[in-house]
Structure formats: structure tokens, C-alpha cells
Chain A
Amino acid sequence: MSGLFRYALQRLVLTVPMILILLTVIFLILRVLPGDPVSAMLGGRPVPPEVLQSYRVKMGVDKPIPAQYVTYIGGVFRGDFGSSMRTSTPVLRELFSRFPATIELAIFGLLVAGILGFSTGIIAATRADRPIDHGIRIFHIASFAMPLFWLGLMFQVFFAVKLGWLPVAGRLGGDVAFTFQPVTGFYVLDAIIRWDGRSLADIVLHLILPALTLGVAMTGLLGRMSRASMLEVLGQDYVTTARAKGLRERLVVTRHALRNALIPIITVFGLELAVLMGGAVLTETVFSWPGIASYLMRSINARDYTAIQGSVVFIALFISVINLIVDLLYSVVDPRVRY
């Protein structure tokens, strides 16, 4: 266990230079791009140069780029990610308040992807080359190829507008929004803590479409990986060994094949998280989901430098921590892996 701990620590220490490099690159790209927060805010209206200059001074973009860089990085090392150039609220506070929304969406999206991808992959592998396998493979490819935002829009059109079963967007319905009192920011959890059934139902209904959109979009890769990995394992002698022992086929698949097939699938699961954050940007935008990704999207439109930099670092940290957890999971899943 101490080896595991040392490994985790090593990985965490390594994220520091990674974040620094990432910050520098993002910082430079933003300054190279045309436009700045001031012109974005004014939207091309004619403004006297003095006014323009006064805004630049206020936002701190009047100084030379190296000076801006030093000021910013210095702040980051003191835990100060600056304030949004657009709204003047501290970036970190904004990120923390939006973080639970994104995580909640991600968790339920992953849940959908996990259940859907994993089960269809296994069904396809155990019935390889039969009609159901072909059907599932077409579904996987379709899910992989479909643009996520389009899928989200179609869901909205169909389930929300045409059928009217589910809300179109947002996290809360109008009436609930007035009465519901968040605790942690994870609304599903909050509703349970408050023991508020009516709000819980509303929250879950709002969650279904975005989670489904994100989940279905991630199903393809996961499903294809599950199928391939499972097929490989099913061809191994130890699966035949399990049959020779007299095990029922269901146990052969679950107890012997599945556990081994899981190892490469977990890798994909970890990598999918990076895809997930990209997908979250689109999903949150389509469903007006008040998370980090939609904040990032709005900040980009406003050329809100500090907000963009803060969001990117936040997301990068999140992904690297998740990947660390996935790497540590290997040693649980595969006895051959030792740290």
C-alpha cells in the first residue's frame, strides 16, 4: 500500500509542471488570437479611444504581455486565479459554484454510457455474428459518429417538444426553483438530503435528456471496446477451462470472462473522460446547463481571459485526477499490476 501511496504522490507532483505548461500555452494562444475582452464587450460600437484605454487599464490588459504573464502566474501560485474580466466575480468562486452541476451531469452521463456500452458490448460479444450483434454494432458506430449537439437537439425536439414528457433545458423547473434549497450543489443529492420528493422528481426529469445525450455519445467507443475485449477473452483457454469445470455459461461469462475483459475497458473509460469534458461543453450549451463547460463557452465568446484560463486549468486538473484514480484502479482489477 505504501508503494501505491508513493505512486499516487509522484503522479500528483507531476501535475504541477503539466499545469504550468498548460497555463503558459493557453495564456499565449489567447493573446495571439484577434480581439480582446474590451472589443468583445463593446461589440464593435464606436467608442472614444480614451474610454477604450480606461477599460483596458481596468482589466489589466494594457500592460505588456510578459508583465501580464508574471502577474497572472504569480497570482495562481498564491491560489488567486483572478477575477472574471466580464463580471468581476472571482473565477475560482464561480468555478466552484458551477463544478457540482458539471460533475452531476458527468456522473449520470457516464452511468448511461457505462450501462449501455458495457451491456451492449457483452451481449454482442456473447452472440458474435448473429443478427443482434450486427444490430448492436450498427448502434455503436451510429452513436460514435453522431454529432453530440445534434443528438441533444433531436432529443429536445422529440421528447420535450413533440411528446412533452421531459423539460427542454435547465436544471430546475420554474416552481421548484423558488422553493428548492441546495446544500452541496449536487442537486440529486441535495434533494435527498432535504427529503424533498417533489424537487427530486423535477431534478431527475431535467437530468434525463442531457445525461442521455452525453451517455449515448460515449456509448459507441465503450461498447466497441467492450465487445472486442470480451471476444478476445472468450477465446482464451481459461474460459474453456471454466466450462470444463462444469460452471454454468452465465457464470463462465460473469465470473471468468468479464473480470478479465474489464482491464482494457477501464483504460477506455478513463480516456473517455477527456472526451466527456469536450462533450460537456456541447451538452451544457444545448441544454443551458449551468456548469463549468457552459461558463467556459461564454467566457470564450467574451474573450474573458482570466475566466478561460481558470476553467481550462480546472478541467485539466479534474481529468488528471480521474486518470490517476483509473490508473490506481488497475491494481485492484488486475493482480499483475503492482505499484
Chain B
Amino acid sequence: MAQSDTVLLDVKGLVKHFPVRKGAFRRVKAAVRAVDGIDLFIREGETLGLVGESGCGKTTAGRSILRLVEPTKGEILFRSRRMAGTAGGVKEVDVVKASRGEMKALRRDMQIIFQDPYSSLNPRMTVGGIVGEPLLVHGMARGEERKKRVADVLGAVGLKPEHMKRYPHEFSGGQRQRIGIARALVLDPQLVVCDEPVSALDVSIQAQVLNLLEDLQREFGLTYLFVAHNLSVVKHISNRVAVMYLGRIVELASTERLFADPKHPYTEALVSAVPVPDPDYSVDRIILQGDVPSPVSPPPGCHFHPRCRYAVDVCSKDAPVYRDLGNEHFVACHRADDLHLQPIHDRTTGQTGGPAA
């Protein structure tokens, strides 16, 4: 993958709270802290995985970055090639503050692939209409030229030009996801947020779609924010991985480091839950106690402390600082320095990989 050192997207202190309205007058009584201050950056051409349990806010984070849900607070800096005006130049835009016109221009650069290929395609539009509409909206191509562009992008995702006249319900799940991918790519975006793009598909189809995403990344120089809950998938496709828990990022590191040397107890538990395709391996799975607390009233201090087996007094009092341990290994844990956590089982050696640090 053609990675560069240029940071394409820099998210700082992103917050998304959903108001909870109650009572006869529907006053705002509380807030669901779906995303509660996250920092991350993505380099051009890389894939950043974003993992976490259901309801941890990863999908909201992905959609907030595209402003498909309006962020409450924070900065989302994006280096747009198109908005620079001059060839080869770039313009850094804060997505949160972008005007309507700027936002429309940004839609060409930032796209999304949805989880459910059944609900993400308008059942009343033909495939040609679905994939070709963005070209019309942005005035990029019309008539024969538009048809050709649609045919090209359908070809790129492994579909045929004659599929243009058909409707989504005539396709299988995997094919529909390909249509969704074609739709996202037709604008030639820089960044694509993949919102659990394979979790609704059969396992055999998952591999196909993942490989397709990798091929397309190479071909078009795409940058991915890959949201998922399946660690094996994320491990396979990502250069770096961010782990989210209850609206915050608890750990972020390169994929190898994160799996070989997790620094956060929550990451350790997640990593231990990855199934190992080795019949001789006796599973030493860390079972977390209790449920994910409500994001309306998260526990004080470290959000994870009620379920953490290493928790000490300070964990329930102060929120841990999200800091860089060196080598861009970010973690938010009071005990990151003195804990030695269990890495992922390495099936090639039959042993657990030793801590790198």
C-alpha cells in the first residue's frame, strides 16, 4: 500500500452527544455521550481500523467525520486536493465548520460504505441511477460520459455494465455491497469511511469484498477509516488500529504492536477473544464481567474501571490521560507502564508472541 507521511485527516477532540428528551415539554434531560472526545489522525493511503463493541460509538464517530451526523464539538481537519483550486495543491478544511457549499465539495472527497447492503441502496432506483447520481449532483459528467464512468466503476468492483439497468433487489448481498462500493468510488474520493462493510455478509463473501477493498485502495490511492467489530478482519486490513470503549479511544497503535503488545486491559480482553484456528491451543480467554455501562451516565474516572481486573483506586477517580507511549502507541490507562498484558496467540509458532517493549 502506497502510504505517505502526509496526514490526510486529523480529528481533534471530536464529541457527539445525542440529547435525551423527556417529559411533556420534551426538555433535554440528559445526553447520550456516543462520542466523548476522540483524537486520531489518518495518513494518506493507509487504513485505520476502528474497533469496539456494539454501542461504543464507532459508527457515530465515522458518520460524524463525514458530518452525516452533526458533531457537537471538535475539529476535523481534512487536506482536500480538489478544494485547493490549483493542481497539486492542497487546502486544509475544518469539516465541522465547513459551509454548505464547502460541505458539498467535501462530499466528493469523503465517502462512506455502509454496513447493510440491503438498506443502503434505494430500492426504487436502478443500479445505474444509484451509482450515477453523485456524478449528476456534482455536475461531473452527464449523458454518455456519465454512462461510461458508471460502467467503468462497475467494472472496477467486478460488476458488468449491463447491470446498470437492474434494480438492487435483483442482486445478492455481496453484489449489492459491490454496488455500494461503486457508488462511493464514482466520485473518486480521497477518504472512504467503511462502516462495517462486511459484517452483514456471508463469511465466504466477506473475504471477496475485503480483497476488493484492498485492490481498490492500491488502484485508486484510497485512504480508509475501517469501522468494524470483527478483530480478525481489522487485523487483516488495517495498518493501524484504534480501540474504542464507551465513546473514547482507549488505545491506538500500529496493527502489529497493538496485537503483540496491548497496553490497555480492554484491548487485552478483546485480543484474547479472537478465535484461534489451532485445535491444540487451549483458550485462555479473558471474560469481562458485567455489561457496557450506559453512555448516558458513564462511570467516573476511567470508563472501563468497573469491568477492569487491574483497576486500582485512582481508576475510579481520575480519567486517564490519552498519551503517546512512544512510537505512536497511544493509550489511555493509568497503569499502562506497569502492566504486562497478554498479546494475541501467534498460530505460526504456537506460542504467544512476546512483548515488543
Contact = CB atoms under 8 A, between A and B. Distances in A.
A246 B123 contact: no
Contact of B137 (A129, A245, A259, A334): A245
Contacts of A243: 68
B104 A246 contact: yes
B111 A129 contact: no
A232 B248 CA distance: 30
B122 A244 contact: no
A237 B167 contact: no
A240 B68 contact: yes
A238 B107 contact: no
Contacts of A245: 107, 133-134, 137, 183
B111 A244 contact: yes
Nearest to A259: B124
A68 interface: no
A320 to B, nearest CB: 28
Contacts of B21: 129
B167 A335 contact: yes
Contact of B119 (A236, A242, A244, A336): A236
A312 B121 CA distance: 46
B266 interface: no
A241 B121 contact: yes
B116 to A, nearest CB: 6
A146 interface: no
Contact of A244 (B66, B121, B124, B138): B66
Interface residues of B, number: 30
A244 B134 CA distance: 9
Contacts of B137: 245-247
B29 interface: no
Contacts of B108: 246
Contact of A335 (B123, B133, B180): B123
B112 interface: yes
A227 interface: no
A242 B124 CA distance: 13
Interface string B59-72: 00001001010000
A241 B120 contact: yes
Contacts of A242: 122, 133
B123 A244 contact: no
A236 B168 CA distance: 15
Contacts of A259: 124
Interface in A305-338: 333-336
A98 interface: no
B167 A244 contact: no
Given A246-B108, A336-B167, A238 B68 contact: no
B111 A238 contact: no
Given A129-B26, A335-B167, A336-B169, A246 B107 contact: yes
B86 to A, nearest CB: 22
- Which of B115, B120, B121 has the most chain A CB atoms inside 10 A of its CB? B120
A303 interface: no
A214 to B, nearest CB: 31
A237 B134 contact: no
B330 interface: no
B123 A237 contact: no
Nearest to A251: B137
A243 B137 CA distance: 11
B68 A256 contact: no
Contact of B123 (A129, A240, A247, A334): A334
B114 interface: yes
A260 interface: yes
Nearest to B107: A246
Interface string B101-137: 0011001100110111001111110100000011001
B119 A238 contact: yes
- Which of B26, B111, B124 has the most chain A CB atoms inside 10 A of its CB? B124
B26 to A, nearest CB: 6
A231 to B, nearest CB: 15
B68 A335 contact: no
Interface in A276-293: none
Nearest to B114: A237
Interface in A223-260: 236-238, 240-247, 256, 259-260
Given A129-B21, A244-B111, A237 B124 contact: no
A67 B171 CA distance: 61
A246 B116 CA distance: 20
A171 to B, nearest CB: 41
Given A237-B120, A256-B122, 11 more contacts: A238-B120, A238-B122, A238-B123, A240-B112, A241-B120, A242-B122, A245-B107, A245-B183, A247-B133, A260-B122, A260-B123
Interface of B: 21, 26, 63, 66, 68, 103-104, 107-108, 111-112, 114-116, 119-124, 126, 133-134, 137-138, 167, 169, 180, 183-184
18 contacts: A129-B26, A237-B115, A237-B116, A237-B119, A238-B119, A241-B122, A241-B180, A242-B122, A243-B68, A244-B184, A245-B107, A245-B183, A246-B134, A247-B133, A247-B137, A259-B124, A260-B123, A336-B169
Shortest 9 CB-CB contacts between residues of A and residues of B: A246-B107, A237-B120, A238-B122, A245-B134, A237-B119, A335-B167, A246-B104, A237-B114, A336-B169
